Chains A and B, each alone.
Chain A
Amino acid sequence: MVNARVPANRASVKRAAVSRASVNRPTRGYRVFQGVNGIVLTLVVAVTLYPFLNIIARSFSGERQIRAGEVTLWPKDFNLTTYRIVFGDGTFWRSYGNTVLYTVVSTVVAMTLTTVYAYVLSKKDLRGRGALIGIAVFTMFFSGGLIPNYVLITSLGLKNSIWAIALPNAISVFNLLVMKAFFENMPGELEEAAQIDGLSTYGILWRIVLPLSKAVIATMLLFYTVSFWNSWFSAFLYMDRTELMPATVYLRNLIAGATTGGNAGAGTDQLSQAAANIQSVTIVLTALPILAVYPFVQRYFVSGVMLGAVKG
């Protein structure tokens, strides 16, 4: 709610400023405000970016420099050993492939189910709508717990299959409610007109509603993709074989192995280097694809999140 209000205010301030500017120059107070604003926001950006740049720098730096804490924004003693170890491992590529597959399939399933469910719920004259919402919201507050869930998935025969990951997480209630609110805000007249022109219910959804909902769809797509990409717990729970694990589980295990060290095949330059920056390499590798996608959906993202939030 707070988030929703701030940009609105800022927008109106801006509009006011523009109209005033056309009459006379901006007041000194406003310029001071702009200056302070700029400085504060720059600081915020710096604080947000710094850890990220630091991680990237560490992932390319030499072991000694990392251990000595000399790496800040720029790689020192440029070094690719850890990347080479991770890339040279067949298991890594297979798990990366698994991650891509799991993410794509799960996101498609989740998007389909969430969109359809949300659209149905947005119809205020639907009988039993309250109950349908109730069922969804109930799961937000209560869950069966780990072991019962595991028993359920196992007895459904989903273990060691992609459906153990895709189905239980297919509908995120939060996303569902955002989407429902978005659909509710659509002018009913549009659908009425389409109905009069002879479109069926599915036709309306497919040809009228969805094309007008790109913003919210892009947002949900991003939410789902990121969450499936980063998730490791369901795969860890329901997969019994190494070749089925996604990259997140693989890298998590690698970190555990590198940090417990123990009887690692160490004593070689390679492994002590890997132990020094395996974590940063991991973070870079898992975050990179999402980062690459983000700029393309960011446009929708900003408007999409807001669209469902404020009625009126």
Chain B
Amino acid sequence: MMIQCQQVSKSYYKGSTVVTPLQALDLEVPKGEFLALMGPSGSGKTTLLNLLSGIDSPTSGSLIIAGANISTLKQRELTAWRAKHVGYIFQLYHLVPVLTAFENVELPLLLSGLSKAERRERVHTALKLVGLADRHDHTPAELSGGQEQRVAIARAIVADPPLLVADEPTGDLDRDSATRILELLRELGTEQSKTIVMVTHDARAAAAADRTLHLEKGQLLENLQTT
């Protein structure tokens, strides 16, 4: 099992009010599965994604990912874990605007201890995998939205993490680009055995996943689809 969430809750203060976006959530995701999370705004999708990616910690419960109980890790350990185990794909790509596609994809490897030649090889492979081998030297401003997202996906997979989390990866793209991105994610799942958790509002995007779960008020409602 790649992901095991047991009674995971997350609360925080907003002023003097306690907000609980996730409440006693249980979830299991097998290795290699492509899971879609849907739900209205404020349902806790992004909070769950942040917990799974290790950029946030649960208030209570146990979160075991790739064999590590990340809910017990300290901040420094969590950062190191994140670098090896998770690739994050943002809705708005969040590429560094002054860096080229190559340099953006290389970012996760800069602290890995790999040699320059090894990094170059890995970045080249990642860019080739997303179909942008010929766009090494292009800055984000010189790429279309779909291409930017593919660079962001290359950045997410370049360190070869077993888990990819994607926060509405097609939310800012036209239909054709969105379709290509979803195909790419599926390929990564089937060919690279990546486990993918994707938050989306788009039913068409969710249809590309192996399974779709609905969240509402911090709790899972149903299991809609298994392909």
On whether the two chains bind one another, the answer is no
Chain B positions near chain A (C-beta within 8 angstroms): none
Chain A positions near chain B (C-beta within 8 angstroms): none
